[in-house]
Amino acid sequence: MFCINSCKNGTGHTKHGGSGNNAGSGSDGDAKYQFGIHLSKGQKYYYNTKTTIQTTLEVNNKKTETSNQSEMGMFYEVLQDSGNIFSVKITYDKLHIVLKKTDTEDQVYDADNAAESFDQMDQLLSNIKGTSITVTLDSKGNIISTSGSKEIMNKVMGPMSSGDPQMKAKVQELVSRLTGPAFVDETLKESFKLFPDSGLYVGDSWKRQSTQSADMKFDVNSTYTLTSLDDGIAKIESEGKIANPKNTTATFMGYNVESDLGGEQEGEFKADMESGLLLHGKTNISIKGYIRILGKNVPVKFRVKKEITAVKKS
């Protein structure tokens, strides 16, 4: 994701500079830092991502609450290091999902249960485990290309060629969320591209737009602040706004609906200054408003919690 180099002039420090979203807050005695990627071929990391999505619907004065808890473990291996371009192989290891709904028994799915289970979801997750996608990125953390997602989709969907169309659509959506464009937007970009390209003083802020998902997709406009640099760790805090303007059409549980939603996001992150990789990230999103179903405005709330933790393996 990012690494940090101190950029200094002949006196040992940079002076204030930059414009736009970067608000220089240091004095002439403060160092200015340039963030970027610094990886070496053969390095390995293990990333564990935990996500909880809570949805509350109120129809005819009756509330229905659902919760989707997922945990995904992935090995990151640096395949190529040319100084400015890096190739990282990401292999799926742990896949665990728990679905909760008001007044119903929890549904638990795990890739490791497939050998002893006849459940289709366990088999699906097992088919993803061990597969890989490869990400090519530059030294600024920009993702240039990805490969492997199509092959994973074909592997999972192949046995379902003659299955129920509705089930196939749901499986495709899940696989895309775990391995496709949604995975790149919501996980990889957050891991590799958090900082701006311009240099930063401690205390500087910058803006960033991202896409997140609950049972719907949302654009999040966030402001990030570099709060400290201590013991080789950069600490960042974020806060943002979510807005789906009135009458925006979105997909909710497989249906196209109109929505009027708004909310807030907050997060905190730690990055390794030597490699530039994300070590820990935690975000919380809270959204509420209305969706229009069958001509009725239905109150809805979403809460999304995500935590990413990385451990260096070699």
pLDDT tens for residues 86-95?
A: 999 999 999 9
Quick one: angle between helices 120-128 and 149-157, nearest 10?
150
Which is more confident, 97 or 15?
Answer: 97
Per-residue 3-state assignment (H helix, E strand, C coil) for the chain: CCCEEEECCCCCCCCCCCCCCCCCCCCCCCCEEEECCCCCCCCEEEEEEEEEEEEEEEECCEEEEEEEEEEEEEEEEEEEECCCEEEEEEEEEEEEEEEEECCCCCEEEEHHHHHHCCCHHHHHHHHHCCCEEEEEEECCCCEEEEECHHHHHHHHHHHHCCCCHHHHHHHHHHHHHHHCHHHHHHHHHHHHCCCCCCCECCCCEEEEEEEEECCCEEEEEEEEEEEEEECCEEEEEEEEEEEEEEEEEEEECCEEEEEEEEEEEEEEEEEECCCCCEEEEEEEEEEEEEEEECCEEEEEEEEEEEEEEEEECC
Q: Express as a percent the part of the chain with pLDDT over 70.
A: 87
pLDDT number for residue 270: 96
pLDDT number for residue 63: 86
pLDDT number for residue 225: 97
Residue 201, exposed/middle/buried by CB under 10 A (0-12, 13-18, 19+)?
buried
Q: What is the pLDDT of residues 125-151, one digit of tens each?
A: 999 999 999 999 999 999 999 999 999
- pLDDT reading at 244 higher than 90: no
Q: Bridge partners of 71?
A: 50, 96
pLDDT number for residue 162: 67
Fold of 4-14+30-312: Lipovitellin-phosvitin complex; beta-sheet shell regions (2.30.230)
Q: What is the pLDDT of residues 147-193, one digit of tens each?
A: 999 999 988 888 776 667 777 777 888 888 888 887 887 788 888 88
- pLDDT reading at 8 higher than 60: no
Q: How far apart are CA 52 and CA 99, in angstroms?
A: 10
Which is more confident, 296 or 247?
Answer: 296
Whole-number mean pLDDT of the chain? Answer: 84
Q: What is the pLDDT of residues 200-240, one digit of tens each?
A: 999 999 999 887 777 777 888 999 999 999 999 999 999 99
Give first-to-last CA distance, the chain, whole Å: 17
Residue 246 pLDDT class (50, 70, 90 cuts)? low
Do 73 and 43 touch, CB atoms closer than 8 A? no
pTM, 2 dp: 0.84
Residue 1 pLDDT class (50, 70, 90 cuts)? very low
pLDDT number for residue 26: 43
Q: Which two tokens stand for residue 257?
A: 């609906």
pLDDT number for residue 19: 32
- pLDDT reading at 98 higher than 60: yes
Residue 253 pLDDT class (50, 70, 90 cuts)? low
